[in-house]
Amino acid sequence: MAISSNHKFRWHIAVFLAPAVLVYTAVMIYPLFNTLRLSLFSEVDQQRVWVGLQNFRTLFGDALWSDQFWNALGNNTWFFIIHMLVQNPIGVALAAILSSPRLRFSAFYRSAIFIPTILSFVIVGFAWKLILSPIWGIAPGMLDAIGLKFLFQPWLGKAEYALTTLSLVSVWQYVGIPMMLIYAALLSIPDEILEAGECDGITGMAAFWKIKLPLILPSIGIISILTFVANFNAFDLIYAAQGALAGPDFSTDILGTFMYRTFFGFQLQLGDPHMGSAIASAMFGIILIGVCLYLFGIQRRLRNYQF
């Protein structure tokens, strides 16, 4: 500080930072704090009144609310687990296959796999709803064509399958992102290290497990946390495919749809911005805790390798 006080205040720094700070504050920081603030109020006789933590007491204490909340959190956790167990391993496997120099048309595959990621969730949700429809969908016909029609179920319509089905649709849509990140990480491993492995007899699958995988662990860590944040903020696909009631019987209800219904209201339910803000604050807390656990618990143990 003593050193900088000798200098003239450098206005240009503030000037150049201002646009980013203003935009970020307007669209991120202000709404975040305002949401946290709103959750501490309630509306009584069309007057906004301070209620402290009462909204949270209702959310966690009143069975009418807490059952819904725990249902949404449980569903959301399952949604996340499916992504971690299916999306990320498949992403890693695709990247490993794509990075093989012997694969032809790899640029084509890379683009084809990545394209769903840039599609709108509305298109994806609607398209899969049509594909899987028992009445006019193509899934029953296609299964019939290979003699597996007995496997067909109205997956989106049964409470025990709907959430898993939607999770897999989301996996299909977003698998390109871990694939691309891992692909970049794999390309950054120097050839000489892999050749040294070749001289040591470590080729093929052994090269993947013993050399490449340990070296891309930091990237896998980053992907995991990105997946966590994206999944616990998810809303769009469920809304597009199942509507805000996240049917059947709330079996696909996740925190995002629960929050949406509460905040804006849906059908017979009246919107309650204050309870909605309380749910949004709880989501913020959950994500914050998850990210902190990752940053302090896991990322510190991952080594970043400089080649």
Site of interaction with another protein (CB under 8 A): 190, 192-193, 195-203, 206, 210-211, 214-215, 303, 305-307
Considering the complex, what minimum distance in angstroms separates the CB of residue 180 from another protein?
23
User: Longest C-alpha distance within the chain, in Å?
Assistant: 81
End-to-end Cα, the chain, rounded Å: 37
Considering the complex, what minimum distance in angstroms separates the CB of residue 107 from another protein?
20
Residue 62 or residue 195: which is nearer to another protein going by CB? 195
Considering the complex, what minimum distance in angstroms separates the CB of residue 201 from another protein?
3
Q: What angle do CA 85, 88, 93 make, to 5 degrees?
A: 110
Considering the complex, what minimum distance in angstroms separates the CB of residue 209 from another protein?
11
Considering the complex, what minimum distance in angstroms separates the CB of residue 27 from another protein?
40
Residue 199 or residue 268: which is nearer to another protein going by CB? 199
Residue 29 or residue 206: which is nearer to another protein going by CB? 206
Considering the complex, what minimum distance in angstroms separates the CB of residue 88 from another protein?
20
Considering the complex, what minimum distance in angstroms separates the CB of residue 303 from another protein?
7
Cis-peptide, bond into residue 154, ω within 30° of zero: no
3-state secondary structure string, the chain?
Answer: CHHHHHCCCCHHHHHHHHHHHHHHHHHHHHHHHHHHHHCCEEEECCEEEECCCHHHHHHHHCHHHHHHHHHHHHHHHHHHHHHHHHHHHHHHHHHHHHCCCCCCCHHHHHHHHHHHHHCCHHHHHHHHHHHHCCCCCCHHHHHHHCCCHHHCCCCCCCHHHHHHHHHHHHHHHHCHHHHHHHHHHHHCCCHHHHHHHHHCCCCHHHHHHHHHHHHHHHHHHHHHHHHHHHHHCCCHHHHHHHCCCCCCCCCCCCHHHHHHHHHHCECCECCCHHHHHHHHHHHHHHHHHHHHHHHHHHHHHCCCCCC
**Is 119 in a helix, a strand, or coil?**
coil
Residue 59 or residue 92: which is nearer to another protein going by CB? 92
Q: In sequence order, what are the beta bridge partners of 266?
A: 269
Residue 48 or residue 303: which is nearer to another protein going by CB? 303
Considering the complex, what minimum distance in angstroms separates the CB of residue 202 from another protein?
5
Residue 62 or residue 198: which is nearer to another protein going by CB? 198
